Structure formats: structure tokens, C-alpha cells
A and B are shown apart, each in its own frame.
Chain A
Amino acid sequence: MDKIEVEIQKDKAALSSFLTKIKKNQDERAEDKVYAQVKSNQQQIDFSDADTNYANNFSDWTDWGDRH
């Protein structure tokens, strides 16, 4: 049984392409008035800390604080 992180490597190109697409989509929609208004209230999806989060930290996954 492959671990799920190993399985997704088989589709690395498609997944990377998708993640780039949604980031681009966000940037383009920044011109949209309604979207901009909502966006002003939230953080952009930010992958910059993804390494840190998943490499050394359970808390973004196992904690309750974001769950309720």
C-alpha cells in the first residue's frame, strides 16, 4: 500500500498545474469588485508556509480550533 503522498507523485504535473491555476484565478479575480470586497476580509491562499506546516507541525491538522 503506497502512502497517499507517494500516490500523488504519479500525477505531479497535473496537480502542480492545478495549484498554479487556482492561484492565477485568484489573482485575476482581484479585479472583480464583489470578489475584491470579500477578499479584503480574508487572506489569500498562501502556500509560502506549507513546508513548515506539514514538515513539523501536526497542529494545523489535528487541532480543534479550526474545526469548530
Chain B
Amino acid sequence: MRDLPFNIVPTVKKVVIQPGTFCNLNCSYCYLPDKDRVNMLSVELASTISTSIESLSDKVSVIWHSGEPLSCGLTHFKKIFEPFKHNSQITNHTIQTNGTLLNDEWCSFIKAENIRVGISLDGEESDNAARVNRKGKPSFEKTLAGIRNLNRNEIPFYIISVISERNINRAKEIYDFMTGLGAYSLGINFEEQEGKNILHKRINVKDVERFWNELFDAWYRSPLITIREFENCFRWMQYSLKNVTDLPIKKLELIPTINCSGDIYILSPEFSGAQVAQYNNFIVGNIKNLPLSDLPKSCSNHRYYQDHIEGIRNCFNSCKYFSFCGGGQASNKFFENKCISSTETNFCINTRKSLLNVLINKSIYYGQN
């Protein structure tokens, strides 16, 4: 087996912070194991995290997620956000939310602090059957109300949609609906087997290809909003067509995720809360005694990081899509294949191979006509 022709340098560019474990929804595909518990990040711990971010050599973006961030209430969120407000190492904040609790008070805060907003929504009402509240009632109307509040307060937002068997035949309808909502970007996540979500049924690859085809056609006819996956493909094509020689160093984003107890997870936030003895439950330390600036050096001491590097090497040696993908996601490999050093996952098939095949064919066709 060939060695990698480049050195992998672990970096920290994004930090995921869990403001609280609880989520007010009970979506059937959720991977979070602790969403029923009510634990919240303390102001003291928030200060420790912010101080730790200040010690980083590079600037970072902060994503508030893992549990519904708005579930902790605006009063508490303002308190834990305060230590980060003047942190010069943070370029921006993003809240990833289900949108159901977005009222005018939240919008005022979000606008004043210039926080980016990502909404989780799977399409029209029928596409959102998995997204229900604690009583099993649809959350769709409340999310729409939250989006109306964002629009009324002129707050830009993007949407991330989960595609599963229930809505995979509705690419055009989903695209049209999302453009009408006023989102500036749409990201597509196919339902995955991760964490608590063990009921996943593999989606037929032909259906996936048809979905990308139809989404592309809808977007190409009326490219009102950015499709995250398409934009990334176009960037890769642009790079690859230039025949640029790879540099000897590639950076690997560690994406430290800090839960509300201060425990730190790396590589995949989906590892947060997973109980796996062989990897010490994926915990690499606690923010109280492990500065984030130490992570790029200390990560290689952890077995699951070592296994992920081995997985990247295996992908490099076996997959022709490596330059587009970079070696896949550690959490997908673990939860699907039970082995982080493994290679192909559903994520690779759906969101790398199928996507790129469809877009290359479409691009060639439209480039010739």
C-alpha cells in the first residue's frame, strides 16, 4: 500500500459548542443520545471555552449546535454568549436551529450580534413527517413561523435538508419551496446511520442519482439560491481543470466539539455522547484542562485519530474519487462499518460519488449545448 504523498496537518478552524443537551423536537432520524436530558452550558464554562479559543493561533468560526440551541432560552443564551462577544479570534458565529422557537426577541439578538442562522427543514409539510415535537405533532408550521420572523427582521439564513426515502422523489418541489422561503443557500444531507439513529435503511443509489439530476435541472433553470453541494463540486472542477499540483501539506480540520460538560470530541461532532469503550467514548479531554491550542499536537495520541488517518490512507489507495472527497467522514465509517479505518460509506456513495458523477455528466452536456 502506498504512503500518502502529503503530510496531514491537523488544524482548528471551526469549534462546535453545545449550549444545552435538550431539543424541543423529537425527530425520528436524530443521532443525539442526550436530547431528552436538560443540561446547559454554564457561564463559567463558556468563559473557559472563550479563553481557550483566544489561545488558538488561527481565527475560528463558532457553531452553536448539538441539541436545540434555542431551547436554553434567550436569557441564558445571552449569558453564555457574553464571554465570546469580544473574542478577536472568532470570525463569526452560527446557530443551527430547528427554527420553531425563533421569535422577534431571538431575532433582535441574532441581528444585533450578527449571528448566522442555519435552519433544519426537509421541504414542504409532507416532507417533514420525521420532524415532530415531543407529543409527536408536526413541527413544520412552527418552523415556518420562525422563518417568517427571520424574513421580517431581514436576517439571512440558509437551510439544511435531510433527504430520506420519504422525500427523495421530490427534488424539484423541495428546490422550488426553498427558493420561495427566501433562504440564500440549501444544503443536502442524506439520512445516515449515526449515533442513536440505528433504524436507517439504505437509500437506493438510483434514487439518489435521480434526486441529484432533478435538483440540478431545477437549479439550472432557475439558479436563485446556492446549492451547497453543487458549489463545492464546481470549485473542485475548477481546481482540477487547472491541473494544479498538490502541495506537500494538507490540513485536516479537527472540528473540536465541546459539550455542555466541557468534554471535547474531535473529527465528527456525531461522536459526542457515544458510548464506545475502545475509544474512551471519543473524549479527548476536557476544556478545563486541555487548551484547544494543544489539540493539533495531542490529537495523534488518540487511537481514533490514528485510525482516521489510516482510513484516509486506505481511501487514497482504493478510491478514484479521493481528490474530490479527501477521505470521508470518521463518524460515518464508525457507525456504519464499525471501523474508522474503513473506506466506503453511504455518505461516500450518496454525497460524493453519485453527486460528482451526475454533475460531471450534466456539466459536460450543458457545456456542449
Contact = CB atoms under 8 A, between A and B. Distances in A.
> Which of under 10, 10 to 19, 20 to 34, or 35 or more describes the interface residues of B?
35 or more
**A contact face: mostly helix, strand, loop, or mixed:** helix
Contact of B326 (A45, A51, A58): A58
Given A55-B244, A59-B251, A19 B187 contact: no
Interface stretch (B105-113, B131-139, B205-213, B361-369): B361-369
Nearest to A67: B189
Interface string A11-53: 1111111110110011001000011001101100101001101
B367 A21 contact: yes
B63 A62 contact: no
A62 to B, nearest CB: 5
A4 B237 contact: no
Contacts of A21: 366-367
A5 B270 CA distance: 30
B153 interface: no
B31 to A, nearest CB: 10
B241 A51 contact: no
B189 A63 contact: no
A66 to B, nearest CB: 7
Residue among B241, B247, B255, B269 having the largest count of chain A Cβ atoms under 10 Å: B241
A15 B238 CA distance: 9
Contacts of B182: 38
A15 B253 contact: no
B101 interface: no
Contact of A58 (B63, B184, B252): B252
Contact of B96 (A15, A17, A29, A68): A68
Contacts of B270: 64
A59 B240 contact: no
Interface stretch (B44-52, B76-84, B317-325): B317-325
Nearest to B11: A59
A57 B251 contact: yes
Contact of A61 (B187, B249, B325): B325
B357 to A, nearest CB: 9
B167 interface: no
Contacts of A2: 320
18 contacts: A8-B241, A9-B240, A14-B364, A14-B365, A14-B368, A18-B364, A22-B234, A39-B184, A54-B244, A56-B246, A56-B249, A56-B251, A57-B251, A62-B325, A62-B326, A64-B255, A67-B187, A68-B65
Nearest first, the 6 closest Cβ-Cβ pairs linking A and B are A14-B367, A18-B367, A59-B253, A41-B156, A42-B184, A54-B239
Interface of A: 1-5, 7-9, 11-19, 21-22, 25-26, 29, 34-35, 38-39, 41-42, 45, 47, 50-51, 53-68
